Amino acid sequence: MPYRIKATVSYDGKNYCGWQKQIKDPTIQGKIEQSLRKLHGGTEVLTYGASRTDAGVHANNQVFHYDTKLEMTESKWKIAINNYLPNDIYIKTIEFVNEDFHARFNVVKKRYRYFVNTNDFDPLLRNRMSFERRILDLALMEDEVKKLIGKHNFKSFTGSSVYDNYVRVIMEASIIKNDGVLEFTFVGNGFMRYMVRTMVGTLVEIGYGRKKDINEILLKEDRNYAGKSADSNGLYLDKIWY
C-alpha cells in the first residue's frame, strides 16, 4: 500500500538550473529523483515541489512530497536519500503525511530572503549574495518596500511568463542592514517568476535615485517600469507554511 512522504530540503543552487527537472541540465529535483530511483531499484519516483526556484537560487527549506511503497522509518528515509545526494543538497526532515497533502497546492504562504552586500567585494561570498558598490538611500528604500505590502497586481514585477492572474498578497516586506549586508524579506501567499528578484532590483535602483516610487510602478502594470532583476545568487527560499 503506497503512502505519502513530505520532505524538507536545503540546497546551494549555484551548480543547478533551478528546481524543476530538465532533460539535459542538472536540477535539484532531478538529483533527488535520481536518489529515490536508486532506493527503489530503478523504479521512477515522481516528486512534487512547493516552489520552482530558478537557476542559481538557494533554499533553506524547500518542501516536496512523493509516494512510495518502500517501508522505512522517517529517520532511515532521511539517511537513505542523503546517501545518494551530492553535498550541495541535503534532506533536513522527513515526515509521513496524509494522502491529501500536496507540497504545492496546500501552501498558505512563503518567505523569501535576498542578501545584498554593500561592503568590499568578497570572492568567498560571490555565490551567496550580490554586491552593491553604489551608495544607497536606505531610509528611502525602507519607506518604499512597505508599499509592496497588501493585495496588488504585481504584473510590473514579473518576467515574460504569462499568468491568468497577477494579483498576489504580500504580508511582510522589510529591509534590515547588518554589518553592511542588506537583508530583504518578503512573505506572501505566492510569488511569480522573477518577482522577488525584480522587487529587490527595483528597490536598489530607487536607493540610488534611478526609479520612481513603488506605488506608481504597481499602477502601471508594465514590466518596463520596474527595475532590473537582481542576480539569482542572493535569493533564498527561506520558509513555507502549510
For residue 129, give the nearest of 113, 141, 110 by alpha carbon: 113
- State the CB neighbour count (10 A cutoff) for residue 6: 21
Q: Which secondary structure element, helix H or strand E, spans residue 193, and what is its range? A: none
Amino acid symbol at 101: F
* Given 54, 122, 179, 238, the catalytic residue: 54
Tell me how far apart the alpha carbons of residues 186 and 171 are, in angstroms, rounded to a whole number: 8
Decide if 54 is catalytic. Answer: yes
Q: Tell me the three cell numbers of residue 145.
A: 518596500
Burial, 65: exposed, middle or buried (Cβ in 10 Å; 0-12, 13-18, 19+)? Answer: buried
d(CA 88, CA 180): 27
**What residues are labeled active site?**
54
